[in-house]
Structure 1
Amino acid sequence: MLHFQKWKVILVGAIVLAGFIFAAPNLFPSSALQGLPSWVPHKQVNLGLDLQGGAHLLYRIDETELVDDWLDTIRGDVRETLRSNRIGYIDLEMNSADRSVSVRIRKPEDVDKAYSELRKLVAPVGNDVFGGFSGNDMDIAKSGDQITLTATEVGLNERISSAIQASIETIRRRVDAFGTTEPSIQREGRDRILVQVPGVSDVQRLKGLIGETGKLEFKLVDPSVNAAEIAMTKKVPPGDELLYSEDEPPIPYVLKDRVLVSGENLVDSQPGFDARNGEPVVNFRFDAAGAKRFGRATQDNVGLPFAIILDNKVISAPVIREPILGGSGQISGNFTVQEANDLSVLLRSGALPAKLSVIEERTVGASLGADSIDSGQKAAIAGMVLVVLFMFAAYGLFGAFANIALLVNVALIFAVLSLMGATLTLPGIAGIVLVIGIAVDANVLINERIREEIRAGKSPIAAVDSGYSRALIAIIDSNVTTLIAVLVLFWLGSGPVRGFAVTLTIGILASMFTAVTVTRMLVAAWLRWKRPKELPL
């Protein structure tokens, strides 16, 4: 146990050296690292919301809007199914209160055929092959000449889960474009999303960027009506709709219902400046299908105004001067540079499946974060000093070896956290403080075992060798059981609990390495050098 091959010594030395090198950037401010060469390690542990301040936002997805969109999709599917099978129908309606879509079949002899075809719209939720089947997304029933499709609770839950997941990905793209580091975006409960963004100062801008649905549409303006009169009388002609701009006061527009092109066909959007007047604009580009539709729409409507609509608000309504056949264009609307940048982020990140509303908002100030960091540092330093003093007082030189291993342990923790790009929170600091306390447990077991071997009359080398050999199983068992509990915390926990579990897991693994390898190597080197007749233990 006390003999180390040369390659093992080199490997352990390299790991310890790498730990100190990659942990070192955390001792300096970020500004001091920017001027260093690129090959020098720069990665630091990111500080969480509770340490550097930031925004804590809890959103709820609009279930009513989600259901209405779903029912509208079902109604469209019913219409398409009946038309493709040449089945006549009347009274195709949707009922939001009952979450249902009903249709009456014109001919009684077509009812069974229509029912059979519409049943194909019903889809299972889950996977019955692996035992995950939990029901169908819709129930279908017929009564006389009427067929009704009703959204089930199982289907609604699946719809909400999909919408939450899609919203999380969209929010993540938007927050990443905001320029912050390590945001925490996760699901909370059935229909909520928790967003924590450390280090952000402009919370209102962040809320605007996240909360906008981002639904982009291009529609023709109806030039045959007076929008101001329609806005006063509210008598919108059939096939038209009344929308307003975001100006103060809002400008009314009467638009054709039909969407020429939607944001689903958008592949890129970037802020820029108009070459003619230097005003900020948003340049956009469609995919092949969107470019074809946009080109056809502008070619057929030269000289007519068309509106660019975002979340049912008219951004601008320019006149089509000439066909736009390249699949790209620009959106102008008296934007500031920041507004143009935010709009391009919204369009580039994609639309949210439904509206999100803020139900809880907290802002953590940087001063509170500074106090937390200071308290955490004091706790960690006090804990380490007390552990070091105890080990040295209890075991003398062997305690000093354990203290060196403890220092290596802390360096390895910060090195791994830095390389992972992990976020350190207050519970994470608590995990590190706890690791400091338990990291020397293995050395306590080893040292007490060596004392027993000395009392049994063994020589110093034999006592040390036997102590490490016999304590190894107990060390592994105790750390593995703790590790299992910590992994369960990580698996079932979320947010701060996971941060605590991550630092504690890294600390346990590092303590096993330092106790079993580093201290043993130090003791073996000292024994070969001193060859003592008695152990100072």
Structure 2
Amino acid sequence: MFVSGNTSPRLGIDLAGGTSITLRAVPERGQESAINKANMDTAVSIMERRVNGLGVSEAEVQTQGNDNIIVNIPKGTNSQQAREQVGTTAKLYFRPVLATDITGATPADPSPSASHEATDKSTGTPTPSPTPSATETQQGRAVTDALKADAAPSPSPSSGSGDANSKLQAQYASLDCSKQSVRATAGKGVLPTEATVACGKNSDGLWQKYLLGPAEVDGTDVKKAEAVYNTQNTAGWIVTMEFTSRGAKKFADITGKLAQNQSPQNQFAIVLDGEVVSDPYVREALTGGSAEISGRFSQEQAQSLANMLSYGALPLTFKEDSVTTVTAALGGEQLQAGLIAGAIGLALVVIYLVVYYRGLAMIAIASLMISAMLTYTLMSLLGPAIGFALNLPAVCGAIVAIGITADSFIVFFERIRDEIREGRSLRPSVERGWPRARRTVLVSDFVSFLAAAVLFVVTVGKVQGFAFTLGLTTLLDVVVIFLFTKPLMTILARRKFFASGHSWSGLDPERLGAKPPLRRTRRPSAPIETKEA
């Protein structure tokens, strides 16, 4: 049993089966030019985030043609939930925060939270101060008053807005965002003109619940969002936003209102797909048409938030064209055929080694077994570690690697045999042949690894599985020949069977056509000339 608890590699969709979803991009009226590579790539990024949120590994999300996105999800995932996640158009809203609180277990010694502050881009970004405690307005009368102040005017006394507020207040009080089933439904299907509840993570990684007012700014009001490293002060990574002319006015109005409130009602929540992705606070009305969000962001966090803000501005929706359930039957048949082909190839390699190299073939076979064990172990560990899944192209890459590994052994053996042909004994031949073989093996493996790396970078989808496996096994070839094959050859060179050049050792000097052994001889002394008197 491995440390990760997995004793077998994770299988890809072609071997384990799964669900394939085809989505077609549909632009809003009059914005047909919105279907372009940049917008489609951003949509793929958001969908990958959604699928990852389901705990799915080896999911493939990629574009096909100009306006299609293909999502392949392996077996073991709730296909209906996955369809709802990737098929729903992302809606981004800026909502005022009425109340917020941590739900679920809290850490014994929580680290200080990094507060996020929205400021006018033209005035710079001040160093954020700690966010005031949000617990003062969490429950009871403060929440009720906030709902009353934020509720839309009732058309008549019998409209029932008071009942709706009481129901929403009770929903907020019982909301437990630490439960995945609760997060999956919180804030979903609510109109932007209605108050709602939502969930989001704070900087300590704890789930936090929110009571939010109606949306004041729409995601399409954001013209541009970028992650920028601010070198002017200690703010570090920040997210800059630029609004449309209509969005700038709405943003100035809502920030002006929020700046007059106490925490947490001086915050606005950026809500994507019903989840709060950021909740910065404001100190003053932001009237410049642009703003910055700061607060100890890492580069990854800043870029992620910028992508989400950009996606909310995309005038694209996606229509589900088809959903196909992929069975593992076809992949299993292809895998079986591939394994048979690999076994035949391996058998031919072994037969060649035995016939041509005889006893040396045992060293090669033992090295191949070590390489196979290491490859299998790494594939099993990389499944839970980085989400690697074994698919048919990856199996193909592992089979191709057999030839690369066998080639390294042949280079080493031939260098040793060349030294024996020169008349040297086995032990000096091993030590003299190794440096020459080592250079050749490193150059050959470097070329193979470079080809695999280039293929991994320039391709997408399953072809990357082939490139990854080929590169991995190429690195393992270097490890095996340096740490196993060479030391084993050095040890066996001291054994009589190999050292004496037994006819079945593969190192028989007579069979190799070796020259007579090199021996040192004394130089004949020069004749002494007699001198005449």
Q: TM-score range by the shorter chain?
A: 0.5 to 0.7
Richer in helix (by share) = 1
Q: What is the distance in 2 between the residues matched to 1:431 and 1:401?
A: 23
Contiguous gaps of at least 5 residues in structure 1: 1-20, 23-38, 69-95, 100-152, 218-260, 272-286, 307-315, 332-336
> What residue in structure 1 maps to residue 364 of structure 2?
402
> What residue in structure 1 maps to residue 10 of structure 2?
46
User: Which deviations, in whole Å up to 9, do the C-alpha atoms of 1:413-456 show, x marking residues without a partner?
Assistant: 22222332211110100001111122110111111222222121
Give the secondary-structure state (helix, strand or coil) at the position aligned to 1:424: coil
Q: Among residues 484, 494, 498, which one is paired with 1:518 in the alignment? A: 484
Flag the 1:371–1:326 CA change in 2: closer, same or farther, 3 A.
same
Cα shift at 1:266: 11
Q: Any residues of structure 2 matched to 1:349-360 within 5 Å, and which?
A: 350-351=272-273, 353=312, 354-359=316-321
> What residue in structure 2 maps to residue 57 of structure 1?
21
Corresponding letter in the other structure for 1:296: A
Deviates more, 1:341-350 or 1:508-517: 341-350
> What residue in structure 1 maps to residue 448 of structure 2?
482
- The answer as to 2:412 corresponding to 1:446 is yes
Cα shift at 1:55: 1.6
> What residue in structure 2 maps to residue 392 of structure 1?
354
Cα shift at 1:371: 2.6
User: Could you tell me whether the CA contact under 8 Å between 2:331 and 2:392 is conserved in 1?
Assistant: no
Cα shift at 1:461: 1.1
Corresponding letter in the other structure for 1:343: T
> What residue in structure 1 maps to residue 60 of structure 2?
184
Q: What is the distance in 2 between the residues matched to 1:390 and 1:293?
A: 81
Q: Among residues 415, 418, 421, which one is paired with 2:377 in the alignment? A: 415
Q: What is the distance in 1 between the residues matched to 2:477 and 2:44?
A: 37
Cα shift at 1:481: 1.5
Flag the 1:265–1:451 CA change in 2: closer, same or farther, 3 A.
farther
Q: Among residues 338, 355, 379, which one is paired with 2:341 in the alignment? A: 379
User: Could you tell me whether the CA contact under 8 Å between 1:302 and 1:323 is conserved in 2?
Assistant: no
Contiguous gaps of at least 5 residues in structure 2: 105-132, 189-197, 200-270, 274-310, 507-533
Flag the 1:345–1:399 CA change in 2: closer, same or farther, 3 A.
farther
Corresponding letter in the other structure for 1:51: L
Q: What is the distance in 2 between the residues matched to 1:417 and 1:181?
A: 14
User: Could you tell me whether the CA contact under 8 Å between 1:56 and 1:195 is conserved in 2?
Assistant: yes
User: Could you tell me whether the CA contact under 8 Å between 1:295 and 1:327 is conserved in 2?
Assistant: no
Q: What is the distance in 1 between the residues matched to 2:165 and 2:418?
A: 95
Cα shift at 1:270: 9.9
User: Which deviations, in whole Å up to 9, do the C-alpha atoms of 1:63-100 show, x marking residues without a partner?
Assistant: x23xx6xxxxxxxxxxxxxxxxxxxxxxxxxxx36x9x
User: Which deviations, in whole Å up to 9, do the C-alpha atoms of 1:83-135 show, x marking residues without a partner?
Assistant: xxxxxxxxxxxxx36x9xxxxxxxxxxxxxxxxxxxxxxxxxxxxxxxxxxxx
Flag the 1:527–1:339 CA change in 2: closer, same or farther, 3 A.
closer
Q: What is the distance in 2 between the residues matched to 1:403 and 1:416?
A: 20
Aligned-residue RMSD, C-alpha: 4.4
Give the secondary-structure state (helix, strand or coil) at the position aligned to 1:367: helix
> What residue in structure 2 maps to residue 435 of structure 1?
401
Q: What is the distance in 1 between the residues matched to 2:100 and 2:25?
A: 25
Cα shift at 1:411: 1.6
Cα shift at 1:499: 0.5
Q: What is the distance in 2 between the residues matched to 1:266 and 1:483?
A: 55
> What residue in structure 1 maps to residue 238 of structure 2?
none
Give the secondary-structure state (helix, strand or coil) at the position aligned to 1:511: helix
Q: What is the distance in 1 between the residues matched to 2:71 and 2:97?
A: 25
Q: What is the distance in 1 between the residues matched to 2:48 and 2:458?
A: 22
Q: Among residues 303, 320, 323, which one is paired with 2:164 in the alignment? A: 320
Cα shift at 1:373: 3.6
Cα shift at 1:163: 4.4
Q: What is the distance in 1 between the residues matched to 2:373 and 2:99?
A: 47
Q: What is the distance in 2 between the residues matched to 1:378 and 1:386?
A: 12
Give the secondary-structure state (helix, strand or coil) at the position aligned to 1:42: coil
Cα shift at 1:265: 9.5
Give the secondary-structure state (helix, strand or coil) at the position aligned to 1:439: helix
Flag the 1:305–1:374 CA change in 2: closer, same or farther, 3 A.
farther
Flag the 1:413–1:298 CA change in 2: closer, same or farther, 3 A.
farther
Q: What is the distance in 1 between the residues matched to 2:98 and 2:338?
A: 50
Instruction: Give the aligned length.
Output: 341
Q: What is the distance in 1 between the residues matched to 2:100 and 2:487?
A: 58
Q: What is the distance in 2 between the residues matched to 1:443 and 1:357?
A: 55
Give the secondary-structure state (helix, strand or coil) at the position aligned to 2:57: coil
Give the secondary-structure state (helix, strand or coil) at the position aligned to 1:319: helix
Flag the 1:475–1:167 CA change in 2: closer, same or farther, 3 A.
same
Corresponding letter in the other structure for 2:185: L
Q: What is the distance in 2 between the residues matched to 1:167 and 1:527?
A: 61
Q: Matched residues, percent identical?
A: 25
User: Could you tell me whether the CA contact under 8 Å between 2:58 and 2:73 is conserved in 1?
Assistant: yes
Q: What is the distance in 1 between the residues matched to 2:415 and 2:152?
A: 91
Q: What is the distance in 2 between the residues matched to 1:509 and 1:267?
A: 51
Q: Any residues of structure 2 matched to 1:336-375 within 5 Å, and which?
A: 342-344=184-186, 350-351=272-273, 353=312, 354-359=316-321, 361-375=323-337
Corresponding letter in the other structure for 1:475: V
Cα shift at 1:199: 0.7
> What residue in structure 1 maps to residue 460 of structure 2?
494
Corresponding letter in the other structure for 1:521: P
Cα shift at 1:493: 0.8
Deviates more, 1:426-435 or 1:471-480: 471-480
Q: What is the distance in 2 between the residues matched to 1:506 and 1:513?
A: 11
Give the secondary-structure state (helix, strand or coil) at the position aligned to 1:180: coil
Give the secondary-structure state (helix, strand or coil) at the position aligned to 1:61: strand
